[in-house]
Structure 1
Amino acid sequence: MTAAELAERLRGTLIVSCQAPPGDPMRETDTLVRLARAAAAGGGAAIRANEPEVVAAISAAVDLPLIGLWKDGDVGVYITPTPRHAVAVAEAGAHIVAADATDRPRPDGSAFADLVAAVHAAGALVMADVSTLAEGVTAAAQGADFVSTTLSGYVPGTPKRDGPDLDLVAALSAAIDVPVVAEGRIGTPEEAAAALARGAHSVVVGTAITAPTALTARFVAGIVRP
């Protein structure tokens, strides 16, 4: 499937992120595959998943476009940080490889453009996870096929928000020609619709759909005891 064909298939749709953090009871491959199957049954248009093993298992079980990544560590650039990580994700079955495209240094000294070239050579597409307008513009110029607002509010120096960064969605959509994907702190259908209205090509939702531990904690924190 070409970049144009996949972009058209994802236009105006919901992508469901089926992930779980380290130590979470949901962080088992079989469980994440079931989450992906449930997302597909509910009408999700694509799946976003972490780690080659999980990507391969979901690819075998769910007939939807798959956005794969590989989180290695938890500080600095850790979302698919190197070409080696990216190629492994592509070889596991991801149609699109998501990777940190911020301007921070990478652990192996490579550039984002190196990762883009490696993924394209492996036959997959690239989604650039960015935190600012400048990063998104640069990533698109370096060959990214999609640009996502995933890292807004999670990189030092970017403003923290309770909800999605719709201003960044709108700014990127006006500045670049590649599809812009809204991701990050989208908690309701209304926020997802608002992201599309501000110019997003598609919307990724994770915690609000597939994270029962975080959702339970949110309810517990919100209970006012008599």
Structure 2
Amino acid sequence: MSNRNLKLPSDLIVSCQALEDEPLHSSFIMSKMALAAYEGGAKGIRANSKADIEAIRQEVTLPVIGIVKRDYDGSDVYITATRKEIDELLGSGCDVIAMDATFAARPAEPIEDLLRYVRSEAPGTELMADIATAEEAVRAEQLGFDYIGTTLHGYTADTEGRKIHHNDFAFLKEVIAAVQAPVIAEGNIETPAMLKRAFDLGAYAAVVGGAITRPRDITKKFVRELHGADL
């Protein structure tokens, strides 16, 4: 697939998310985080939940990748897992819907059905595949996803603990070589130099989250360096 008239720019996308156990969990706070990212030069936002996306769109006009994280019994899939989450995102006004596109057993509809549903209900909405392996990237491209994201590498049973930047972004290189669709580097990009390296290797865009938008985790890194453990 060529990079024709894509809604996401080839640039930095900032993930503005805070889960329920985090101090910044608030749609209002995430909207201001997105505004700060915009003022800092970000060209896109990734956000979790309809409420957060709606609040963010009141603050910035940047394209938004929308997800809904929800756990389901009997399945490891938690990023936009079913039609319920798709409907919430279609109602949010997000530009791109990202979903788990791994080989993990899904809690309800097959991924092919979800793609057909989005293409039918909202043909102008783009789709991003969150994958963990090159084989999953190839399948996602065959299914017709607009973007392939390295998001879940290191977070699935068969890739646990790995990082996309290990051995000079070996996994990112593998995915870029395996598909023609635009590849979005996402996952543990912790420094500006790492971001630049991802683009130098051919990433279409990159999502940076915790290194920018999770002050609790950033503080822990400083404390570990100083004391050897979190306080």
Asked if these proteins are the same fold (TM beyond 0.5), I'd say yes
What's the counterpart of residue 70 of structure 1? 68
Three-state SS of the structure 1 residue aligned to 2:58 is: helix
The match for 1:221 is 224
Residue ranges of structure 1 left out of the alignment (5+ in a row): none
Q: How does 1:97-136 map to 2 (within 5 A)?
A: 97-108=97-108, 110-121=109-120, 122=122, 123-136=124-137
- State the match for 1:186 in structure 2: 189
Q: Which residue of 1 aligns with 2:153?
A: 152
Number of residue pairs matched? 220
Q: Any conservation in 2 of the 1:131–1:155 contact (CA below 8 Å)?
A: yes
Measure how far apart 1:4 and its partner are: 2.3
> Superposed, which structure 2 residues align to 1:13-24 within 5 Å?
13-24=11-22
Q: CA deviation at 1:168?
A: 2.0
Q: Contact conserved, 2:164 with 2:171, CA < 8 A, in 1?
A: no
1:55 pairs with 2:53: yes
2:91 corresponds to: 91
Deviates more, 1:44-53 or 1:88-97: 88-97
Q: What is the percent sequence identity of the aligned residues?
A: 37
RMSD: 1.7
Tell me the amino acid that sits aligned with residue 90 of structure 1.
Answer: L
The SS at the match of 2:71 is coil
Paired with 1:100 and 1:127, the residues of 2 have a C-alpha distance of 9
Name the residue aligned to 1:35. Answer: 33
What SS does the corresponding residue of 1:187 show, helix, strand or coil? Answer: coil
Structure 1 residue aligned with 2:4? 4
Which whole-Å CA distance do the structure 2 matches of 1:107 and 1:29 have between them? 27
Q: Which runs of 4 or more aligned residues in structure 1 lie more than 6 Å from their structure 2 counterparts after TM superposition? A: none
Matched-pair contact (CA < 8 Å) for 2:54–2:93? yes
Displacement, 1:162? 5.5
Where 2:4 maps in the other structure, the secondary structure is: helix
Does the Cα contact within 8 Å between 2:147 and 2:181 map onto a contact in 1? yes
Paired with 2:5 and 2:101, the residues of 1 have a C-alpha distance of: 23
Q: TM-score scaled by structure 1?
A: 0.92
